[in-house]
Amino acid sequence: MVLEYDYRSRQNLSFVVREPEEALFVEDGYGLLSVRFTLRAGAGGWALTAFVNNLLEEEYRTVGRIDSIGGAYEIFGPPRTFGFQARYEW
């Protein structure tokens, strides 16, 4: 089992720093916790992995911009995601 923790400090998401917009485009620090569990069938055989990313379902923005017509938009990071992977090595 592997636990991963990724921390991002407070950051400014905009290209242009204008004081009135700072409250819109500053993202406070956040942490992402992920877990991965792998079962292996000997050396050079099958490996089955189950994973969960953003385990605590942290909500965070990766982009914050003003568009060319005066509106603003935000893009958020992915929510909690999970999946499985099967691999065979020879």
Count of Cβ atoms closer than 10 Å to residue 25 Cβ:
21
When pLDDT is cut at 50, 70 and 90, the band that residue 64 belongs to is: confident
Domain spans, the chain? 2-88
Over 80: is that where the pLDDT of 42 sits? no
The span from the CA of 12 to the CA of 33, in Å, is 22
Over 80: is that where the pLDDT of 15 sits? no
Q: Residue 51: in which H helix or E strand, if any?
A: strand 46-53
Mean pLDDT across the stretch 24-51? 90
The span from the CA of 17 to the CA of 89, in Å, is 50
